[in-house]
Chain A
């Protein structure tokens, strides 16, 4: 008989931070790119981007995200943690609707529901394969 392993708070916090940073990254990146002059050349856009405080903030977050992700992988299977980060699509969608005033459509809402149900399925599995199971 198999019993589900306890979900560590450290892993939950790491996944939450990963999803949160991913959400901020996606929205921050979009906002930084939207703030660029539309008639600029790619070179001018790149220079403007490198001088943008928002862009530098995004770069800093990316570095933090990398180290947080290594911590998450230390506490969970890759095949468990990676799909769960798709929850950032849900948060980006929600914030885009409420914050950026984008209008949702039926296909997007259906997609979000698929993601949520999929995450529920994965959350019902053990988060970590033990080393003896790995060998077997």
Chain B
């Protein structure tokens, strides 16, 4: 079994820091992981409040395989991971300001790479084709990648076509590279001319997009090739996109997605406006009053291709909401429940419906529930 070689990246150079920027880690650790029988791990921290300012990070010049790979992440047992929305302060984040055209935040040229729990920001600096994570077509057939619980946002000005949040580069020779994107939030890749996308698949790539939220992109989630390859989309929210929420023809297994334009693939989806906690300020956690995404997802804990069990915050998924976030009630909080024309529902501690509060219609009255204590084993509450 390969040995994990862990180094700490901390832009504030706090106690235990090996490197103060992810690019220095990549330069110093670049090697043949297969002959070393090692997994190269960058454990990212932010002990002060400094972002990791870069222009572009290439991951290139390594040798990897399925069991000896590159992993860049924030350890959820530490305090430097985001809380499901863009944050500053003591949260590790890559802040990329582009200096020329066609730069990504991270340009991946190696075959087995994982990104977990990272914040990434693309400031295009006025440049064209600014991307988030770009998976190059030079990676080998059979290569595999993971983007899990990441937030990728654009701060783009002017026209910047082909500015995709997560982009799989077209492979002229085809083949089967695999990308899994899960519990990830992508937003604002929405420049004024076309062909900007949130999560984009094309020829040579098979993509599994599970429980992601994409907001305010030109195209939300895109399938560019469904003949030789596929894009399976499950439990994804796409909202407020310019051209289409879901573009192309997705794999037949795609289901339980939602959109606000009716383009979501699958027969068990939802059309409507999802109610987020604070959409105007890019907090895309689900609001307790939402009726589109809450509880309407598919249980993917036993998915044959890519089982998942937690959300972007690391919370256990039990009621299976659509999107990156799984709604959880918090003790000591009031929740307002709308059920227009229906009996208001009592929700359990995980946000799932636990039963009707009363028989018959209560019209559009608002029901406020105060959760005094949580008892997840019995799912009972004191109310007021």
A and B together in one complex: no
